[in-house]
Structure 1
């Protein structure tokens, strides 16, 4: 449906739940490493919850005016359990885009979490909720509800492009976006990285050493030779 400055695509293709569930044991940082560190949202998009948060789900994308969240309310009505609301408010800093009421209703509906590069409000309540919210700080100034915006189109959040159905993974380090067409390959490579890092840590703990030869090898490749 398209009316004036409103565009709503009601549905999108989601990846199988079994595939999404395999991401629940993966760290956002390791996933970001696999993707060349280009799909990690910038440092301003941080968890607003207690330590230990882990978010995995399918991106339901929303683009709104920086001061208005009517399309967020409509997106909640369209969302399925396991979706993550990813909100592009053009990096707005003046108005909170979500708060306690939206977060509670999203949780009741089975939505996996909310990600925005704009502020939120009611941070004390959200901090104590068992519902992942990632945002750019907080402000008491609430949003308007005039209605311009889009649902389920390509957006940008935290300087990263997000398509409907991409996998969103968030933890205490921040948020990464896995393009849905790369989901299987990224999953397999991330598992290998985590197994390799565990092996390195186990060896360090046993021997008290970390093999450092690779440092000088890289320096030599760059033309530096220690004397």
Structure 2
């Protein structure tokens, strides 16, 4: 009998915690730029907490039916401290798949955060909690707990592929997914970008100007010519 639709991979490879921690404080916008402006989740996957949230952790992937969250409960039992539950509910919009009780238990387990492209509920409680939760809005309609689903397989969340152990970073702009195989180089390049941007900002305020030559150079290279008269 096939185990598709009821598949649980209990043990996955995670990157060194020191590498994952390197992403703390890095902006999702800069990380996305390094990855060619790809690997950023759809704009509907937004923080459900107070402003200033920052999520960093290792992806524990979950695929569920849009109306059922049994596999989320199983995944929490398998999760290690620092994991991020990334939930693929096939873009379901009718049922909340995460609520306050799940968030409290996740916090107790040391789970770093929760990301889903479906709705949640108990938003007031979650808004005031210190566990990052990213979701597609809210609804009071809860889920069933019947099965089926998969844990730690390749999923899609927010229109981005996610593999177990990928690095998840979230802030007030949204969520990005850093593939495990690219984690070192993306980290190095993101730090360079943030240092460069800070240098530009500092220079702006020191000189009260911003070098704009590149704007016209880019336009002229594309064939632009001024319209006179």
Shorter-chain TM band: over 0.9
Which residue number corresponds to residue 46 of structure 1? Answer: 46
Instruction: Give CA deviations for 1:38-62 in whole Å, capped at 9, x if unaligned.
Output: 1000110000000110000000000
Distance 1:170 1:4 in 2: 30
Structure 1 residues 29 and 4: CA distance shift in structure 2, 3 A: closer
Which residue number corresponds to residue 62 of structure 2? Answer: 62
Matches within 5 A, 1:42-191: 42-191=42-191
Which residue number corresponds to residue 217 of structure 1? Answer: 217
Distance 2:161 2:217 in 1: 35
- The offset of 1:226, in angstroms, is 3.3
Relative to the length of structure 1, the TM-score reads: 0.98
Distance 1:210 1:166 in 2: 37
- Give the number of aligned pairs: 227
Instruction: Give CA deviations for 1:126-156 in whole Å, capped at 9, x if unaligned.
Output: 0000000000000000000111000000000
Q: Larger deviation: 47-56 or 213-222? A: 213-222
- The list of structure 1 runs, each at least 4 consecutive aligned residues, that deviate by more than 4 angstroms after superposition, is none
- The offset of 1:3, in angstroms, is 4.1
Relative to the length of structure 2, the TM-score reads: 0.97
Matches within 5 A, 1:198-213: 198-213=198-213
Unaligned 5+ residue runs, structure 2? Answer: none
Instruction: Give CA deviations for 1:90-144 in whole Å, capped at 9, x if unaligned.
Output: 0000000000000000010000000000000000000000000000000000000
Distance 1:3 1:87 in 2: 19
Instruction: Give CA deviations for 1:140-197 in whole Å, capped at 9, x if unaligned.
Output: 0000011100000000000000000000000000000000100000000000000000
